[in-house]
């Protein structure tokens, strides 16, 4: 899979892209990740990429020219990628969106900074606008890293078989969160590993794990629901 990252801060990605999982996937050719600096498409001696909003208001906006030129330049190399704009106003990222993105052969991640993009960037490019949650980050870079991490795990070969199989945990169409897991020691500060996990009875263990996952998912959903109703 190919991923292009369009950003004003390429240095934010070093370290992240060289880390164990992504570094190995890139080295083995499973992932082809490239970074493009939007500023390379700015004009003038100052290479200006941002300006104040018409009508007033705080902060600076990314100008449409350098951003659109940057995207169009990247998209000339075939096959054109699925263009994602990272913005708090986009559709919310969840595992089904991650799966959708992982089925694309190539994605182009457009990261904003400052107070956002001039509206004509969206009007011109019609990107898939995605938010990683209802909070405002100082830019799209961290959101792009979240997407890359989640998508890379679904690219065949990036994870071992054993781990990738675990992701298909559903109940009535709803995704389940992982239930509790234990490793050695069998007892830690008076807390014991549940007997069922030591029983060797694989059918019983699978049933217990599923039940725990259902209960944990229900508790999590209740907490999320009550948080949402706080005025
Ligand atoms: N840029 C700033 N905040 C963001 C968010 N929550 N999701 C995606 N991109 C962003």
C-alpha distances out from residue 200 to 102, 142, 196, 204, Å: 36, 42, 8, 9
Atom from ligand 1 closest to the CA of residue 86: 9
CB atoms within 10 A of CB 47: 13
pTM, 2 dp: 0.93
37 CB under 6 A from ligand 1? no
Best CA proximity match to 159, nearest among 5, 20, 15:
20
86 CB under 6 A from ligand 1? yes
Reading phi first (left if > 0) and then psi (alpha if -120 to 50, else beta), residue 15 is in: left
Atom from ligand 1 closest to the CA of residue 135: 6
Hey, whose CA ends up nearest to atom 2 of ligand 1?
A: 137
d(CA 43, CA 64): 12
For residue 172, the model assigns a pLDDT of 62
Angle at Cα 162 formed by Cα 159 and Cα 168, nearest 5°? 90
CB 66 within 8 A of CB 41: yes
137 CB under 6 A from ligand 1? yes
d(CA 94, CA 112): 20
d(CA 202, CA 196): 9
C-alpha distances out from residue 33 to 4, 107, 151, Å: 6, 10, 12
Q: pLDDT tens track of the chain, all 231 residues?
A: 999 999 999 999 999 999 989 999 999 999 999 999 999 999 999 999 999 999 999 999 999 999 999 999 999 999 999 999 999 999 999 999 999 999 999 999 999 988 999 999 999 999 999 999 999 999 999 999 999 999 999 999 999 765 664 555 666 667 899 999 999 999 999 999 999 999 999 999 999 999 999 999 999 999 998 887 655
Domains in the chain (CATH in brackets) are 2-152 (3.40.1280.10), 176-229 (1.10.1270.20)
């Amino acid at each position: 899979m190919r991923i292009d990252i369009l950003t004003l801060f390429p240095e934010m990605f070093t370290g992240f892209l060289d880390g164990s999982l992504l570094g190995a996937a890139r080295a083995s050719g499973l992932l082809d990740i490239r970074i493009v600096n939007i500023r390379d498409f700015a004009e003038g001696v100052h290479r200006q990429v941002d300006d104040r909003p018409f009508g007033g208001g705080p902060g600076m906006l990314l100008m449409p020219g350098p951003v659109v030129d940057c995207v169009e330049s990247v998209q000339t190399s075939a096959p054109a990628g699925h263009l994602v704009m990272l913005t708090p106003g986009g559709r919310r990222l969840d595992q089904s969106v991650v799966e959708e993105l992982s089925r694309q052969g190539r994605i182009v991640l457009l990261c904003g900074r400052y107070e956002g993009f001039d509206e004509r960037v969206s009007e011109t490019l019609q990107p898939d606008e995605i938010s990683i949650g209802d909070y405002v980050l100082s830019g799209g870079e961290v959101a792009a890293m979240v997407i890359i991490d989640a998508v890379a795990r679904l690219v065949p070969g990036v994870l071992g078989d054993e781990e990738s199989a675990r992701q298909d945990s559903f109940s009535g169409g709803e995704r389940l969160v992982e239930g509790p897991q234990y490793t050695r020691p069998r007892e830690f500060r008076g807390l014991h590993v549940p007997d069922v996990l030591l029983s060797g009875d694989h059918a019983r263990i699978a049933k217990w794990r599923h039940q725990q996952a259902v209960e944990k998912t229900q508790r999590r959903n209740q907490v999320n629901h009550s948080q949402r109703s706080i005025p």
